[in-house]
Amino acid sequence: MKDKLILKALVCSAFMCSLSVGTMAAEVSTDVKAGDTEQSSWMDRTDIGIGLQGSQKDDYRDYKTAVNPRHLSTPVVFHSEHSAKQKIKAQYFIETIQPVKRYDDKSKSVLFVQGRLDGNGGDKINTRAYWYGGDGVRALEQPSYYDKGETIEHDSLGVVASVGVGYRRLSEHEHAYVGGNVFYDYAVKDKLSRVGAGMEYVSGLNTISANVYHGLSEKKTEPYPFWNGLTMIPGADLFHNTMPGDPLADSPNGMLRYRYAYEHVLDGFDIRYTRDYKNARWVSTYIDTYQWKTKSPSEHPENMFYINQHKWNSIHGVKVGAKLNVTPHLSVDLGFNKSNITSVEPYVSVMYTLGKSRYAYFGGKHSEDTITTARSKMLNKVKRSDMVVESYWEQNYREYPWDHI
């Protein structure tokens, strides 16, 4: 318990350090015109935002029934059902990036810290599966009855804190820079964590970045029998009745009940390309591809019967969007996300900058000739993917024996 409290304190302290380091370091200055220097403060690099994102809930059910369940040779009718429901998830955040020491128009490099605190952050992929049927092998030996299904839903992880450090260095003529960074993410409610590392390359109006992520947390419950007082599984009367008065959860002549669960932070990577526009510096467009590695079906315990035909070896997809600086204080990030496990999901975030952005459609600059494109991005925030967690829970109700007919 003491170690957990220390870990939470370290995360919170690191995030607060990233908020305050800008006030301890000297202000950032950049030449905008010859002989004219514009000062920027830590507030210019701190955003408070709210985001809305589409999410999907899927319900699957597969079952079979027999025309005459009392006979093994009777014809079997297979049924399959699927329904999907869309919902909206809200997210709240504060994010800042600050130089560790003074950065001005003569500096060729910058060492920075970046912190972010999300409320309702991250993506938790919840799968709840069940199996009702005979106690055969995975080949579904009970010919007359089985019923299996699952619900897949995307939830948030609650409060997620992220803190990282990075370094960027300009080229000789300041038309490009390269950078690297490392981050630590922590989901407070479920006590889950991961680390990440990234690289960036900026050349002119183009930015390419890549991040890799490694989960540090996994929780697993091996299959175990349980007892809940249920005397018969749904539909069991079609093929077998539990022995009367059977008090055991794992009786050779009654019902078998098993549960299994795991939860882990997914490893993965993302690659992002961003394009700015010379005469419209208030807008940028991007495309982001990503992939997350999940547990494969082969890792499913042999003594749990549900075979997840909706299971993926990986979750991969693409995000396409744009960021618009509407005013020096207000910006909007909007686009859509499409993965192999969901339909198209739109998203939008509205951010309020505590200070001012130089480029904006209303009240800001649209273009810039003096300051180089690369230098103007030296204190842009690192773009990263949310923490993704796979959570699985399965419950079996199995009649035994199944060959009584």
Stretch 159-187: mean pLDDT = 95
Half-sphere exposure of 367 (CA within 13 A, CB side): 5
Residue 280 lies in a domain: yes
The predicted pLDDT at position 293 comes to: 93
More confident position, 173 or 308: 173
Find the domain containing 215 and state its range: 2-399
Give the per-residue pLDDT at 141.
Answer: 46
8 A C-beta contact, residue 155 and residue 263:
no
Confidence band, pLDDT 50/70/90 cuts, at residue 105: confident
pTM (global) more than 0.75: yes
Q: What is the pLDDT of residue 99?
A: 95
Q: What is the pLDDT of residue 31?
A: 43
What pLDDT, on the 0 to 100 scale, is given for residue 33? Answer: 40
Q: What is the pLDDT of residue 184?
A: 98
The confidence score (pLDDT) of residue 203 equals 94
Question: Comparing 357 with 402, which gets the higher pLDDT?
Answer: 357
Does the structure show a pLDDT above 90 at 396?
no
Distance, CA of 316 to CA of 331 (rounded, Å)? 28
Q: What is the mean pLDDT of the chain?
A: 80
78 pLDDT higher than 90: no
Q: Is residue 334 part of a domain?
A: yes
Pairwise pLDDT comparison (308 vs 195), residue with the higher score: 195
- pLDDT above 70: residue 110: yes
Q: According to the model, what pLDDT value does residue 130 have? A: 85
Mark 105-124 as b/e (b = at least 16 C-beta within 10 Å).
Answer: eebeebebbbbbbbebbbbb
The CB-based long-range contact list for 335-344 (8 Å cut-off, 24+ gap) reads 335/286, 337/53, 337/54, 339/315, 340/312, 340/314, 340/315, 340/316, 341/125, 341/152, 341/312, 341/315, 342/55, 342/56, 342/154, 342/317, 343/56, 343/84, 343/86, 344/54
Domain-located, residue 253:
yes
pLDDT tens readout for residues 332-350: 999 999 999 888 999 999 9
Whether residue 220 has pLDDT greater than 70: yes
Question: In the 8-state DSSP scheme, what is residue 386?
Answer: P
Residue 242 pLDDT: 44
Residue 405 placed within a domain: no
pLDDT above 70 for 68: no
Read off the pLDDT of residues 237-293 as tens digits, 9 standing for 90 and up: 444 444 444 444 444 445 677 788 889 999 999 999 999 998 899 999 999 999 999
pLDDT in tens, 146-162: 788 889 999 999 999 99
pLDDT-wise least confident of 171-175, 210-214, 317-321: 171-175
Higher pLDDT, 320 or 342: 320
Kindly indicate the confidence band of residue 14, based on its pLDDT and cuts at 50, 70 and 90. Answer: very low
**Residue 404, in any domain of the structure:** no
pLDDT tens track for 291-307: 999 887 777 777 776 66
* pLDDT given at position 232: 46
Work out how many domains the chain is built from and give that number.
1
Q: Is the pLDDT of residue 382 over 60?
A: yes
In the numeric block, which tokens belong to residue 6? 């220390």
CATH number, domain containing residue 379: 2.40.160.160
The pLDDT of residue 35 is above 90 = no
Tallying the residues shown for the chain, one arrives at 405
Q: Is residue 40 part of a domain?
A: yes
**191 part of a folded domain:** yes
Domain-embedded: residue 188: yes
Instruction: Give me the mean pLDDT over the 44-61 stretch.
Output: 90
Residue 32 scores a pLDDT above 80? no
